[in-house]
Amino acid sequence: MIKRHKAILSVILASATIVANSLWAQEKLSPLNNLSFPPAYLQLQSDTARMRFLVKTINDSLDEGQLTHVYDWARVGLSMAEKAKTDSMIGIFNFFIGKAYTYHLLKPDSAIVYYKKVLPYFPDKLRKYSVYSVREIMERYSEMGNKDSSFVYLDSLKVLIDTMPETSPKRIGLSTNIATVYQWFGMFKTAVNYYQTAINGNRKNGNNRGLGLALANLGELYSESNDDNKALQYSKEALGYLADVNMPYMLTAANIATYYSNGEQFDSAIVYYKLSAVVANKVNNTGQLNVLQFILGDIYLGQKKYEQAKEQLEKSEVALRESGDRWGLVRNYLSLARLDTSLHKFNDAKEYLLKALKIAKEDKQETLVAVALQSLAAVCAKLNDYKTAFNYQNQYVLQKDSMTNEKTKAELADLEISYQTLQKEQQISLLQKENDIKTLQLQNSRRSILFYLAGFLMLLTVAGIIFYQRNQRNKIQAQKIKAELQTQVLRSQMNPHFIFNSLNSIENFIMQNEKRNASDYLNKFSRLIRSILDSSRNEVVPLAKDMEILNLYVELEQLRFNNKFTYKTHVDPQLLQGDYRVPSLLIQPYLENAIVHGIAHSNKEDLQLTVTAVLEGDDIKYSVQDNGVGRQLAAAYNLQNKPHHKSVGLKITEERIANFNKTENTDNYVQFTDITDEENQPAGTRVDITLKAA
């Protein structure tokens, strides 16, 4: 596998919305007297109001990644602030100019100058703009490869976060930034500790987006340290928390595809490649689409589908060259060289490797330089040019030794920090022991009385604990018996309900003299009943088995309704591969509802029923969606045609979900969503069901 050295996902994610605007870097700065302002700004009368307006507008632009006017607006704001001698505003607008130089003009050295100007205006080091300026200076120095300067500001941030609560959002965010810098300089062990701090804090706060980003960063770190198993573990967990955040979700899915491809699990790689491609197309991110072309080409290459690989990699080469992604272009050249080597086109492979080596050396891409040199040595040997091969092999050895020295330095620095942390913990422990000794000395005069009192209280406590535990065991046993009885009753209610509807469908075919349909229906119905009877012996069944039973049920309903609708399923491969178990036919009533009440009443030609099941953290998330008439029209139809009908299927199912999730409230586990079209007319229904993974 070819890994990108120091490719930190948090850096990518932090500036993800900015990447699309990177072409602005060559844009000429607007004169101050020829700027474009929002109409609301022009209506303001005082400089104070204008400055406040600009602060809010620039913050909104930064959040949305729309940076075209940030530099010019910040210059106008700074001019007004200096004229009014408003220190806090001077600091804030200097910060905004630093942001523009960082993400819009792409000049980290100039950005550092302005971030440093911010600090004197915020002497309180815990103030927002002071903390964030120090963070930006640290990251810009690391981006420039200036480790010593970067670590000066990193150490000051470490001192700050030690004073913050563990669940402080600011502490959590800064822990991620610090981890990123340690990772950038190859100090992986220390980086893991800070990522774990961010992960634990986000879990406690319930911040799913922050948790997903931190997990994705940790996955990327393990990828850099050549541990693709852990990279997959953390990246796949991250994906469950990033479903609503397009850019991080897209990048993380692409990373997972790469990890699977490295492990030659190409089917899984294709699954996650497609997940990333869907989002990339949705947000029209051409940069990511270029990267995905390369990933797909690499997958085809691993599968030895050389023609498809050649086509994808050549497309990717053109796109990457046009976009200016030189790191991606080097990887693409290396893959093309691998392809030509496999086809014994050694001269062509050599040309690609020379191109890759040239760019990698110019950009100091040390890992890729080593890969290119090693590959050139092998290709030249194939061409019987042993002298040149020997030369490249020597260069490769020197390059590898240099990288090994850097890695050793990073590992030593890791050990030094671990030793310092251990010393700090020992000092805290010693201080605590001294305090304990002093406390014991002060309490020595009352020890005898307290001893007897403590003994008496201990006896009472032990007796109370024994009594309490006995009562708790009895309660738990009673609740378990009750839950088992309730589940048996609910299952006995649900199964006749389902069987009655199925027999009714067979009767309809017979009455209409549709012998073939009746025969097909009866055959599938018998298979379905056999599967249900097999499953009924157990409280839960494997998820894969349950999906097979549901598929049989839907096939019956398709026959019943003359194939009026199509049926699609998507099940997370992790659910199918793992030993996950669910109550049998738990979501069948929701499918039945979608078919009988949503699809049956619709006259559309492209009616669809879709079922998805994904693993998100410790939960299994089902989604049942149809594009039928919607709940409102279905209810009106039922009121007119079945005024006395009362459905107990959904009520029973909700009770089953509550029993399985061990809760009395199903509001958080079953949610209905009405789908509307562009004209706000009903266009279907989606039901989301959450089960505890078992």
pLDDT value for 12: 36
Catalogue the E-assigned strands of 448-564: 541-542
544-596 per-position pLDDT tens digit: 888 998 998 898 888 878 888 999 999 998 888 888 889 888 888 899 889 98
pLDDT value for 8: 37
pLDDT value for 64: 76
State the chain's maximal CA–CA distance in angstroms. 100
686 pLDDT above the threshold of 80: yes
Confidence of residue 678 (pLDDT cuts 50, 70, 90): confident
- The 3 state secondary structure assigned to 45-90 is CCHHHHHHHHHHHHHHHHHHCCCCCHHHHHHHHHHHHHHHCCHHHH
Q: Average of pLDDT values for 184-209?
A: 86
Degrees, nearest 5: CA angle 535-540-543: 85
14 pLDDT above the threshold of 80: no
Q: Which two tokens stand for residue 70?
A: 């940030």
400 pLDDT above the threshold of 90: no
Phi, psi for 689 (deg, rounded to 5): -120, 130
Q: Residue 607: beta bridge partners?
A: 565
Q: How far apart are CA 609 and CA 569, in angstroms?
A: 9
Average pLDDT of every residue of the chain: 81
Q: Which two tokens stand for residue 235?
A: 């990246």
Closest listed residue to residue 209, CA positions, set 480, 455, 16, 432? 16
416-428 per-position pLDDT tens digit: 555 455 445 455 5
Confidence of residue 9 (pLDDT cuts 50, 70, 90): very low
pLDDT value for 36: 78
Between the CA atoms of 395, 400, 406 and 409, what dihedral angle is there, to the nearest 10 degrees?
Answer: -130
448-492 per-position pLDDT tens digit: 676 767 777 888 888 778 878 877 877 776 566 555 545 554 454
Would you tell me how many other CB atoms lie within 10 Å of the CB of residue 520?
A: 15
77-124 per-position pLDDT tens digit: 999 999 999 999 999 999 999 999 988 888 999 999 999 999 999 988
CATH number of 475-692: 3.30.565.10
592-644 per-position pLDDT tens digit: 889 988 898 888 889 999 999 999 888 999 999 999 988 888 888 877 776 65
Q: Sheet of 565-571: strands edge to edge?
A: 565-571, 607-616, 619-626, 682-692, 670-676
345-360 per-position pLDDT tens digit: 999 989 999 999 999 8
Token pair 């303001």: residue: 44
Confidence of residue 184 (pLDDT cuts 50, 70, 90): confident
Between the CA atoms of 201, 205, 209 and 213, what dihedral angle is there, to the nearest 10 degrees?
Answer: 0
Token pair 């005082």: residue: 46
pLDDT value for 482: 54
75 pLDDT above the threshold of 90: yes
Which has more confidence, 409 or 307?
307
Would you tell me how many other CB atoms lie within 10 Å of the CB of residue 588?
A: 21
pLDDT value for 98: 94
